């Protein structure tokens, strides 16, 4: 019975971290989607699925999720050197000011929340040191013993839900089409985690010039609903 309770609590913690109610502002970012829609690169559910699927395959699977898994392991080993190194490496891979701020501002917001909840690794993080969101998620997950795999799935789901929410407002999509979009992409998330798990350190890194271009142009877009 005790093991079942611990498993249930771990699942609930993943749901807490993936919830849109988590006060880190994820709803405010579109990761270039707003500019892609303005340029008619994304116009409907099919093109939205292609855009989001590309981000999952070429960014999340090869950058964010591999680092999340490594950060969880670093915390398990109490390896501060690896924790700081991967955090800095991930932030250095953000190709525009908007993408960097999106990551570091959400990471900082989650850090403040975790400090208030008494998570030791968060409380020990040096003041003023930029923190990537996945590093903060790893701090929470390792402290609450969620397991790295479940935590990664929760992080992907949170990202996908926010992106579909942005598409719903911007394309716009109806609520039914939004659910159809989620239904189309959701089955790919376990494969993203599996790909991330198999990559060596030398294989990490995102190659998305379209995202970098969209993000850079979004910084100067005349009207904007989202911060990225």
Dist CA 186 CA 156 (whole Å): 9
Biggest CA-to-CA distance, the chain: 57
CA-to-CA dists, residue 125 to 80, 129, 131, 136, angstroms: 10, 7, 9, 10
Asked whether the beta carbons of 105 and 25 are under 8 A apart, the reply is yes
Helix (H, G, I), strand (E, B) or coil at 114: helix
**128-177 pLDDT, tens digit each:** 999 999 999 999 999 999 999 999 999 999 999 999 999 999 999 999 99
Dist CA 45 CA 74 (whole Å): 39
More confidently predicted of 94 and 226: 94
Helix (H, G, I), strand (E, B) or coil at 227: coil
**176-215 pLDDT, tens digit each:** 999 999 999 999 999 999 999 999 999 998 878 889 888 8
DSSP string for residues in 124-143: TSPTT----HHHHHHHHHHH
Dist CA 43 CA 37 (whole Å): 6
């Amino acid at each position: 019975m005790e093991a079942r309770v611990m498993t249930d609590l771990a699942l609930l913690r993943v749901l807490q971290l993936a919830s849109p109610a988590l006060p880190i502002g994820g709803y405010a970012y579109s990761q270039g989607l707003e500019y892609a829609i303005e340029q008619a690169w994304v116009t409907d559910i099919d093109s939205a699925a292609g855009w989001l699927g590309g981000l999952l395959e070429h960014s999340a699977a090869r950058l964010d999720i591999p680092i999340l898994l490594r950060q969880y392991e670093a915390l398990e080993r109490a390896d501060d050197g690896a924790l700081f190194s991967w955090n800095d490496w991930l932030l250095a891979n953000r190709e525009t000011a908007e993408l960097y701020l999106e990551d570091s501002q959400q990471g900082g917001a989650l850090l403040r929340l975790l400090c208030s909840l008494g998570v030791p690794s968060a409380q020990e993080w040096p003041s003023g040191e930029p923190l990537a969101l996945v590093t903060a998620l790893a701090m929470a997950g390792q402290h609450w013993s969620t397991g790295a795999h479940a935590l990664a799935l929760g992080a992907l789901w949170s990202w996908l839900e926010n992106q579909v929410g942005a598409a719903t407002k911007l394309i716009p999509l109806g609520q039914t089409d939004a659910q159809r979009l989620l239904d189309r992409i959701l089955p790919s998330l376990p494969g993203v985690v599996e790909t991330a798990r198999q990559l060596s350190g030398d294989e990490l890194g995102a190659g998305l010039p379209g995202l970098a271009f969209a993000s850079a142009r979004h910084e100067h877009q005349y009207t904007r609903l989202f911060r990225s």
